Amino acid sequence: MCGIVGYVGDKKAQDFLVSGLKRLEYRGYDSAGIATVSEDGEPTLIRAKGKIAELEKKLAKAKRDDHVGIGHTRWATHGEPSEVNAHPHQAGDIYVVHNGIIENYKELKKELGGHEFKSETDSEVLAALIDSFYGGGKYDLADAVVQALKLVKGTYGIAVVSRKNPEELVVARSGSPLVIGVGNDETLIASDASALVGHTKRAIYLNDGEVAKVKKNSIEIRTLDAEPVSAKVEEIETNLSAIQKGGYEHFLLKEIMEQPESLAETLRGRVDAVDGTVRLGGPGLKEAELRKIRHLIIVGCGTAYHAGMLASYYIEQFTPEITVETVIASEYRYRQAYIPENSVALIVSQSGETADTLACLREIKKQGVKTIGIVNAIGSTIAREVDGGTYVHVGPEISVASTKAFTSQVIAMVMFGLTIAQAKGVKNTILQPYVKEIAKLPEEIGKVLEEVKKPMEKIAKKYASYEHAIYLGRDTAYPTAMEGALKLKEISYVDANAYAFGELKHGPLALVDDRFFEVALLPMGVLYDKAVSNVQEVLARGGHMIVVTNARDFDLPVEHVVKIKSELTIFAPILMNLVMQLLAYYVTVAKGLNVDQPRNLAKSVTVE
Ligand code: AGP
């Protein structure tokens, strides 16, 4: 996902622009640039393909102490990664940075014959469109931006600076986040609050359809229809240490190891282990509405989808007469699916900005279905558009591979299910075991992580040379296996796929040979014996197996057994997932790959 920063104030703009872009690096990008304007209107535009370090090499020669400017990290969508396609884009006297996609950029480009286009990007078309209103002098910068945005179809988060007015920036958003940091004699802009941390704790989150004229001591917000908007200043939750690595080599290991704390944050004030009940205020559903629910649709992508799948198995276990379906957002948004009466949709997203999930949310809302967000990023677009929601509060998840968010998303959705079950009068004796295990989970996660971290580092080294892997599980261990396979494939590039154990004989068993290793999840329970015989089927064909189990008596001659020592049984798959997170991490480290920013991927996929 691209990153935007902007600055107007008494300090040197370039300093914040560069430091702010560095804070946003984790979101994935392939080029970067900044534009600043001096007090006498002299512009400086510097862009570079590749990492911000490349940009800094060029900046070192530019030595500007301008006090207004904008910056951008670009994750290519239209036009390959290159300097000429990098933002800011210039048109006439203005410079523009843009996140999002201008769907009608081709039609607009045809109307802009007067502009000599240098790039292949939709964003340059937007810059030229704004200039077509601004250049003639009929409109001031903010009005020119409004006129242009009225013609735009698509999504945008933009910041604009003009050499004719080096005391102000104009920013606007529709579908791509923008936050305004309120400082002392300075105002800072960013597409993600983490860039503001350490500069100010006061932030204004722009809403879709809003445009702001920003100076160092003033912020004027209005809608595209010129309706004034009163700015709501919010406290930025994130502190600086939360976005540093905290002594770990990689964000990913930090985020795996902090799951006891992050899950505790998710549970804070929401679980009463004594009387075995949960209390979720966010969804905002009254008892009567909860009682009426007959169908849940859980929507997400990637890890969020897996979290939904796992949660759906649990919710079915303790909530009578409810059907639960989990759908992949990019598929569901184009289906003509019928949504039955008395449905509620859970919209799951760590970033709260995933384009496909957001599109699904909007489609589902059009059908009048109540939507509940299970989101991490505060103030994100999905969090703002759902009818109600539960923030998972795991803090910034910087590494592209999602770990702590998964754990908390699953439990947050289970708690939502428990809330429904409580309203429906399900006996406390049925619900209490779930609540008690949830209350214990943070501590148990901490114990398991300490127990398995070292062994997993050793085991991972033995499997780092494999190019293929099969993950296996039954029941709640099956979506967990799917999540484990995704973790390994997305950071170590091993071709890892998950199958329900029972599916082995219907095809996947043919794969088993020395090219593959297998990870099998065997939680104790009614299906444990079936899973043991599935392990034997794989062993008989020469499988190289890692078995993860909480059973004390597992004794088949597999290559590795990773024992989960915990009295938790219901949520044993959550504990097993920790083993797979660490396996993926240490295999990637052994392969010397980029753990936190794997190739081709971004932390938040804000384009289709
Ligand atoms: C998970 O490790 C991946 N980074 C990816 O699948 C991610 O879960 C997916 O893009 C959804 O992101 P979201 O939760 O921010 O919507």
Structure confidence by residue, pLDDT tens digits, 227-256: 999 989 998 877 666 666 767 889 999 999
* 395 and 532 within one domain: no
CA of 260 to the centre of ligand 1 (A): 21
| Co-location of 260 and 135 in the same domain | no
pTM: 0.73
Q: Cβ(157) to ligand 1 under 6 A?
A: no
User: Ligand 1, atom 4: nearest CA belongs to which residue?
Assistant: 401
CA 336, distance to chain mean position in Å, is 26
Active site residues: 2, 603
* CB-ligand 1 contact for 297 (6 Å cutoff): no
| H/E stretch holding 429 | helix 428-463
Cα 122 to middle of ligand 1, angstroms:
25
Which residue in 479, 453, 460, 29 sits closest to 253, CA to CA? 453
pLDDT digits (tens, 9 = 90+) for 448-502: 999 999 999 999 999 999 999 999 999 999 999 999 999 999 999 999 999 999 9
**414 three-state secondary structure:** helix
pLDDT in tens, 75-84: 766 677 789 9
288 three-class SS: helix
301 in contact with ligand 1, CB cutoff 6 A: yes
Mean pLDDT of 573-598: 97
Nearest ligand 1 atom to the CA of 490 is 2
CATH of the domain at 486: 3.40.50.10490
- State whether the beta carbon of 402 lies less than 6 angstroms from ligand 1: yes
Mean pLDDT of the chain: 94
Q: Are residues 232 and 249 in the same domain?
A: no
The alpha carbon of 520 and the centre of ligand 1 are apart by a number of angstroms equal to 24
Q: pLDDT digits over 157-169, tens only?
A: 999 999 999 999 9
CA angle 452, 495, 314 (to 5 degrees): 55
Whether residue 28 contacts residue 603, with contact meaning beta carbons closer than 8 Å, is answered with: yes
pLDDT at 252 (0 to 100): 96
Domain limits for position 223 = 3-243
- 233 plus 261 within the same structural domain: no
Looking at ligand 1, which residue's alpha carbon is closest to its atom 8?
303
Out of 303, 347, 358, 581, mutate this one to test ligand 1's pocket (max ligand atoms within 8 Å of CB): namely 303
* Nearest residue (CA) to ligand 1, atom 11: 301
pLDDT digits (tens, 9 = 90+) for 261-273: 999 989 988 999 8
pLDDT at residue 125 greater than cutoff 70: yes
Identify whether residues 192 and 260 lie together within a single domain: no
Residue 329 lies in a domain: yes
Clarify whether residues 252 and 346 are in a common domain.
yes
Q: What are phi and psi of 295, to 5 degrees?
A: -145, 135
DSSP string, 330-392: HHHTTS-----TTEEEEEEESSS--HHHHHHHHHHHHTT-EEEEEE-STT-HHHHHSSEEEE-
The predicted structure's pLDDT at residue 28: 63
Mark whether 529 and 386 lie in a shared domain: no
Domain boundary among 365, 394, 426: 426
In terms of domains, do 220 and 340 share one? no
Instruction: Specify the pLDDT at position 243.
Output: 60
If one counts the domains in the chain, the total is 3
Is residue 605 lining ligand 1, measured as CB closer than 6 Å? Answer: yes
Residue 240 confidence (pLDDT): 63
Per-residue pLDDT, 93: 97
pLDDT by residue (tens digit) across 495-533?
A: 999 999 999 999 999 999 999 999 999 999 999 999 999
Give the model confidence (pLDDT) of 312-356 as tens digits: 999 999 997 899 999 999 999 999 889 999 999 999 999 999 999
607 lines ligand 1 (CB under 6 A): no
Average pLDDT over residues 206-216: 96
